[in-house]
């Protein structure tokens, strides 16, 4: 059974940094795109950043230049380095991955449980 486990959230002051990690475990054949989404109170969940297996990245405009997504394919882990954090970055952050795992024959989406990031004085 595949699981995504996140860590690294917390409370940080504006201008500070946090690093989120997400590791996929279980019987995994292959992982395609991995990424991070976030959901603030009263808002829809939206993409923050994603990265392909070969390292191509994509960011929402509001985090470009401040956040960096990376991954370690050998460890089935994706990271999100968040710098110059702003109060509007406050949200629950969810890890997402397209994973091929038995008994299926194609990729399907898996989600982590979410980790709270709060940016406040």
Residue-wise pLDDT for 87-119, tens only, equals 999 999 999 999 999 988 899 999 999 999 999
- Per residue in 20-69, pLDDT tens? 999 999 999 999 999 999 999 999 999 999 999 999 999 999 999 999 99
In 3D space, the residue among 4, 12, 3 whose CA is nearest the CA of residue 116 turns out to be: 12
Convert 74-109 to b/e letters by CB count within 10 Å (16 or more is b): eebbbbbebeebeeebbbbbbbbbbbebeeeeebee
Confidence of residue 83 (pLDDT cuts 50, 70, 90): very high
Is 34 within 8 Å of 50 (Cβ atoms)?
yes
In 3D space, the residue among 97, 69, 71, 72 whose CA is nearest the CA of residue 83 turns out to be: 69
């Amino acid at each position: 059974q595949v699981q995504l486990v996140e860590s690294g959230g917390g409370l940080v002051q504006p201008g500070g940094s946090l690093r989120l990690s997400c590791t996929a475990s279980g019987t995994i054949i292959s992982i395609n795109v991995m990424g991070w989404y976030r959901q603030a109170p009263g808002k829809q969940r939206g993409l923050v950043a994603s990265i392909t297996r070969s390292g191509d990245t994509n960011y929402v405009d509001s985090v470009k230049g401040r956040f960096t997504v990376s991954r370690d394919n050998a460890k089935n882990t994706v990271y999100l380095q968040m710098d110059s954090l702003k109060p509007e970055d406050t949200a629950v952050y969810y890890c997402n991955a397209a994973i091929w795992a038995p008994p299926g024959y194609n990729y399907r989406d898996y989600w982590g449980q979410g980790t709270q990031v709060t940016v406040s004085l």
